[in-house]
A and B are shown apart, each in its own frame.
Chain A
């Protein structure tokens, strides 16, 4: 097993190089002229400004050379400089990473806790009302456009009912808590700033539900199926006949085995979270990497788009790797192929 894990570890950098290459080629296929984005429409007639900009961004060098320079820079952690913000892309991303991570972790919690509870309940109350409700909820989760459900939820819970605050990470009138982890909820607690914590937590609720819903759907369906599978086996019958309580049978005996396939899905659902985070952040004006990607794409800010794409691809590859390894460790029967 160790050998296969090592083999995966070697494959990941190669795949990453492929990701970088494709991203780089894409940035050089551009139809829209990035020069316009840098110097502005009016300055395009000024040859001096254009030449200076070309030299500064390396746009005048041949493609293979630019590629080598780009890969070399990447290895030293340099993702280039954003046309739009004029700051290094890596720095922009680092500033925005905590916001996205906080949202994604909250969404994961919604998806995992909600999905497992619903899945267990649906399996326990098979073909009853609870089961059907869970299935509808799961189905909607993977079909509803997040940029639409986000808008609707904001309208219902923030405007109509007034239960939750509007978009954004924090009330604009509040000062952000001193950055320790970058997570507003955690930092506010660490600083003992209770009002900021409450506001940050309340603002996290809707985007986390909107984003976590898709994951919740996937996990519910899987936990339900594997619970039903496990509940039909002999050792469950044995546990019941020994007089174990229903709760003990469900959670100690059945769920633990039903969790093995679920583990993989939790890892792979990260893909949904990245996709969803881009759109969810756009709807909730969440100042994370998703909003950054959308703004960059709209402004044809190629270094930024490519930076996000590479980082996203890397995150994707690493999660899949971790999932594979965790799966192998959790279930001794699994042999990585």
Chain B
């Protein structure tokens, strides 16, 4: 795949040690941010001086050496809570995107491969789901199921799968007529086998790029739902929930500062990496 990133028309003399073209500075920064949060999420209980749910000092303290990002209304350490927040946001984003990709891609692949009535039914369902503003649909679903992170996750799957159905359907449609597919059919391969063994392996790259970017967007949406009061409930150290506590204690700006920066870094990290992956898979679309 890396060979595809090298423009074939211009014979550039490249030293062997040079990094591949898609690995630009933002992409490296993006990887670094994500790696940072993954490490934090996995190891945070081992090295933080305070417990995220326990009182660590006087309430509403401004940032100091003892509490780098201050303390919240109950006297809990904001930095520790922010770091613990990754333990909620990251797994939720990964699970939501994985499930949305699985559902969306499966339905899209079936729609594109079978065509006809199945295709129409599935794609009209996609159209209707995409007709909702995502946040409103997510709010309605979460409210219907009852507030909580798990229900918010279901709601986020409900709003994010249709895009993957469209992406996968378009890929399958364009690959369906390829010669190697026809050859497989001629050789007597069954329809599921043709789809799974001969079409799907070639159809993943747009989905992968979109999924990477979506990870950041899901972190943002999860925090939004929590901020509204439909996602994580207190005392969970979830970023949106923490920002809503910060909104209540508005003059203690530091309560919301850390979690906001955390969300921002996560969104930026995933979109940088997503950009890099897009350049890697499709060098012509470069900016």
- On A, residues with C-beta under 8 Å from B are 15-16, 18-19, 21-23, 26-27, 29-32, 139-140, 142-145, 147-149, 151-152, 154-155, 159, 225, 271, 274-275, 278-279, 282-283, 293-294, 296-298, 300, 302, 305-306, 308-309, 312-313, 316-317
Contacts and interface: CB of A to CB of B under 8 A. Distances in A.
A148 B243 contact: yes
What is the size category of the interface that chain B forms with chain A? 35 or more
Q: Kindly list the 9 A-B residue pairs having the minimum CB-CB distance in the complex, ordered from nearest.
A: A18-B128, A148-B260, A274-B133, A143-B267, A275-B135, A297-B143, A312-B136, A31-B146, A312-B133
B212 interface: no
A271 to B, nearest CB: 6
B51 interface: no
A325 B145 CA distance: 38
B71 to A, nearest CB: 18
Contacts of B202: none
Contacts of B133: 271, 274-275, 312-313, 316
Interface in B244-275: 244, 246-247, 250-251, 253, 256-257, 259-260, 263-264, 267-268, 271
B260 A279 contact: no
Given A19-B132, A275-B135, A148 B256 contact: yes
Contacts of B263: 145, 148
A22 B260 contact: no
Given A143-B271, A274-B136, A298-B230, A279 B224 contact: yes
Contact of A297 (B128, B132, B228, B260): B228
Interface string B121-144: 000110111011111110111111
Contacts of B129: 22
30 contacts: A19-B132, A27-B144, A30-B144, A31-B145, A143-B220, A143-B264, A144-B267, A145-B223, A145-B243, A145-B263, A147-B224, A148-B263, A151-B246, A151-B250, A151-B256, A152-B260, A154-B250, A274-B136, A275-B135, A278-B228, A293-B136, A297-B140, A302-B143, A302-B144, A305-B139, A305-B143, A309-B136, A312-B136, A313-B136, A316-B132
A274 B135 contact: yes
A83 to B, nearest CB: 12
Contact of B253 (A26, A155, A283): A155
Contacts, number: 145
A309 B132 contact: yes
Given A143-B220, A151-B260, A316-B133, 9 more contacts: A30-B145, A143-B271, A149-B260, A152-B260, A278-B139, A279-B228, A297-B143, A302-B143, A316-B131
Nearest to B225: A297
Contact of A298 (B229, B260, B264, B267): B229
Interface string B189-221: 000000000000000000000000000100010
